[in-house]
A and B are shown apart, each in its own frame.
Chain A
Amino acid sequence: MPQYETVIGLEVHVELKTRAKIFCDSTTEFGGAPNTHVCPVCLGLPGVLPVVNKKVVEYAIRAALALNCKIARFSKFDRKNYYYPDMPKNYQISQHDLPIAKHGYLKIDTENGAKKIGITRLHMEEDSGKLVHQGTITASPFSLVDYNRAGVPLIEVVSEPDLRSPEEARQYMEKLRAIILYTGISDCKMEEGSLRCDANISVRPVGTDGFGTKAEIKNLNSFKALQRSLNFEIERQIKTLEAGGRIIQETRTWDEGKGETLSLRSKEHAHDYRYLPDPDLVPLLIDRQWVEDICGSLPELPDHRRERYIKEYGLPDYDAAILTNTKELADYFEDCVKVCPNPKAVSNWIMGDFTRLLNLHGLEITECKITPQNLASLLGLIEQGTISGKIAKTVFAEMFAGGTDAETIVKEKGLVQISDKGAVIAIVEEVLVTNPGPVADFRAGRERALGFLVGRVMKATQGKANPELVNKLLREKL
């Protein structure tokens, strides 16, 4: 049996969070009673005309620049014709042969280091409405249509077939999401459908150059679904080939419940979209200066930031990668570093307790009550030896819950570390007296017994004794 290699390309749809829709002034707001965010234009009533929302073009350019694409000076809109009741005009306004941007890339981390994934093209298009059913689509006695989403702006980002595993596909999606979030053009919520993904996948014997016949998987609305469906599909395709079968070029859908992909339609039944340039819209001529202005307004992007953290703050790559994963986290880190001289300590706290508590409470970093100033002063207290690392965790939890600053908590709760030799020595002596067994063990050469004794002293001082001091005193006395 030959070894197989997987070839994956992704088509990702990103909903743009402009105020108005792509070709009219209706709101893009998510939710809302059905058919309330509509107007004659996005309902496709007779005689109405689309007018492109300039903000959408700006956002598309923003995304394209962040993905290292070349912006086309001349681009146009086309009609993609097919009948479906959630499409008000029975054609979708999209960009066919002259998209706004091409030839980009993004970088993902693999076992063998960073890998560049090509981006073939990025184009703008309008979203469709939604069908609403009672129960499942097949059992429902009716279909209702909600056009609130019809005309919401989308960009479609098409990757090169450069991905070689489901893991790489997931990484690509995560990186794409991170970059888009940095640019601020979308909230990229997969659960609300503002980030959607279709995958093209084929397999081929290792060492061959040509592509195998591909299947396109639709309806991937989570990172988990993406990875699971690809794993399923690889297995299915290899099994088919090994059994002497042939892969059919087709569209398949992911059934989350069954955990398998199911055939939707074959290439023979594929739509003929009968593209034509939309005669209601004039070609887009993109001004170079405008592109430069947009470029200038982009924030520092994750890859650049990550490198800078390594150079400027001496952080390990691992820390830098995690901290720069979202713009908000990175911004928070940098605000902390401005007031705290120890970047690695800040990084440890953010990646450790901070992230744990945020996840536990389901909060975003922007919703957190701990100000960078407060985190810095907590770290200061540890540095100065005013509190122990262990006490600091308790203080931090208090700060997280109530937003109070570290000094106040330490003072109010009397958590200042006891570093006074006189105060600790009495307790040390008492512990030695009341624990003859461990004392004997230690003297017999069992080092581990010391830890037990330290623990006793700490317990007796409610954790306030300076652990280094306790250690030192115990050794002296023993």
Chain B
Amino acid sequence: MQLFLLTAHEMHDLLIKKEISAEELNKAVFARIDAVEEQIGAYITRTRENALAQARAVDRQIRHGEKISPLSGIPIAIKDNICTDGIKTTAGSKILSNFIPPYSATVVKRLEAVGGAIAGKANLDEFAMGSSNENSAFFATRNPWDTSRVPGGSSGGSAAAVAAGEAVCALGSDTGGSIRQPASFCGVVGMKPTYGAVSRYGLIAYASSLDQIGPFARDVTDCALMLNAICGHDPLDSTSAKYQVVDYTGFLTDDVRGMKLGVPEEYMAEGTDPAVRCVILKAMKKLESLGAVVEYTSLPHAEYALPTYYLIAQAEASSNLARYDGVRYGMRAKGAEDVIDMFMKTRSQGFGNEVKRRIMLGTYVLSAGYHDAYYLKALKARTLIIGDFDRVFKKYDLLLSPVSSTTAFRIGEKMNNPLQMYLSDLCTSSVNLAGIPGLSIPCGLAGGLPVGLQLIGRPFDEGKLLRAAYTFEQNTDYHKQFPEL
């Protein structure tokens, strides 16, 4: 097995047995980056020196016989909409192409505090708006399984990096499926935790009431280790919950006997690629054979989730992105006649088409005369969608569904049809509306491309998601399949 494809916990074992140093390990990963990055394009910025310095510090700790954390010295990719002190953070946008934050996001601080080695800043759709990474202002990341295909989005760079061995774990952000969908397309584990479980401080906002940071990993154990590092209340984020943090590795038991799993029929409706459907059904059978009770159920308002999601997300985005005006930081257009002209030129030149489209949509739905018909109605629909989940979770421990109705599509295939692109979020966006946790786990290949099974849980019930996913993983070997590069 190649070193760069080991999981974090496997690397950790080698580190504490002193069979390898953290520096060697990081060098191996950077050698991998050098070898494949041209094909993949996972990173906007690579921070080799930063990672090596952290690795050497970890090696010193090991030499001095100090106890190290499970993520100490592990190379981790950070989605480039998560601020890193002194390291350029672009959000995939031209408008922030020169922005170097004077602070780190809380999640970055927490990862660094446990010895995580930040390997670089991963590519994404501009301001996390997109499902393919084609909306990055810089370049499109390619899917390691088939480089003519997209890695998914918006956290496509993070997912591709983990799948290609260019990072061991990664952080992404998920507003309507932006962690789970690329995890599914790239064949890795990706989790969107409960809204409020992970601090958003330092995450460049797309839609604040839906955004949530979460991990990518090559197996469920690493996913739990990442959660251990990043979860917990943060006084810098008013929306971060005050809750009892637990050791998530404690949930990693190979047992789903008696667990009640519901399958919303709306998520398995026509439109799902038959090959994907087949893989998902097989995965459900697998869980059933392991002792879980799997039944069809219904989320009656599911059909409203996508429009509701797009109305709320765009409304918030139009306000969140107003600050990029060229006055204080980032790009400023040249040759403006006055301040209003400067705003307009800067934003016209600085934002890409998809971002402009969403800002206009959001501005429209908040405008006088339309506010009640669109925005307010969307808020009401959101309440109904939350109600659907509350009802089914009275009966079921978890819900199962495909993450996406298709496998990774070809680059360029959906770029001229935004509506088709938006449909990628069908099975994922309602989870953000309800603020509940969702996880994507590799469950097989369809046409040689990975398919992800989505597990959805009650608020703060990440443990149960991990347990079911871990059980599935222990009894299958999809997580041991890697793309050939």
Contacts and interface: CB of A to CB of B under 8 A. Distances in A.
Interface of A: 40, 43-52, 79, 81, 83, 85, 88-91, 143, 145, 272, 274-276, 279-282
Interface residues of B, number: 45
B150 interface: no
Q: Shortest 3 CB-CB distances between A and B: which pairs? A: A90-B322, A279-B208, A274-B366
Nearest to B371: A274
B321 to A, nearest CB: 9
B319 A47 contact: no
A217 B96 CA distance: 39
B343 interface: yes
Contacts of A275: 366, 371
B426 to A, nearest CB: 23
Contacts of B328: 43-45, 88, 145
B360 to A, nearest CB: 12
Interface string B86-104: 0001010000100101110
B329 A281 contact: no
Given A43-B328, A282-B238, A89 B203 contact: no
Interface in B268-297: none
A91 B322 CA distance: 8
Contacts of B324: 46
B129 to A, nearest CB: 15
Given A272-B367, A274-B371, A276-B375, A47 B322 contact: no
Q: Which of A143, A276, A280 has the most CB of B within 10 A?
A: A276
B205 A47 contact: yes
A274 B367 contact: yes
A279 B318 CA distance: 13
Q: Which of B235, B319, B325, B368 has the most CB of A within 10 A?
A: B319
Contact of B322 (A40, A51, A83): A83
B235 A51 contact: yes
B108 to A, nearest CB: 11
A85 B238 contact: no
Contacts of A50: 238
A49 B236 contact: yes
B239 interface: yes
B3 interface: no
Given A143-B339, A276-B375, A46 B368 contact: no
Interface string B372-405: 0001000000000000000000000000000000
Nearest to B375: A276
Contacts of A90: 322-323, 325
A274 B203 CA distance: 24
Contacts of B228: none
Contact of A89 (B91, B102, B201, B322): B322
Q: Which of B99, B209, B235 has the most CB of A within 10 A?
A: B209
A274 B343 CA distance: 19
Nearest to A145: B327
Given A49-B237, A274-B366, A85 B339 contact: yes
28 contacts: A40-B102, A40-B103, A44-B328, A45-B101, A45-B103, A46-B89, A46-B99, A46-B323, A47-B81, A47-B201, A50-B238, A51-B236, A79-B319, A83-B325, A83-B340, A83-B343, A85-B325, A85-B327, A88-B328, A90-B322, A143-B339, A272-B368, A274-B318, A274-B319, A274-B371, A276-B366, A279-B208, A279-B316
Contacts of B205: 46-47, 280
Contacts of A88: 323, 328
B436 interface: no
B204 interface: yes
B232 interface: no
Contacts of B99: 46
B262 interface: no
Contacts of B83: 46-47
Q: Which of B81, B236, B323, B366 has the most CB of A within 10 A?
A: B323
B363 interface: yes
B237 A276 contact: no
B320 to A, nearest CB: 9
B433 interface: no
Nearest to B102: A40
Given A47-B89, A272-B367, 5 more contacts: A50-B238, A81-B322, A85-B325, A143-B339, A274-B319
Contact of A49 (B89, B238, B363, B367): B238
B238 A51 contact: yes
B204 A47 contact: yes
B315 interface: yes
B239 A280 contact: yes
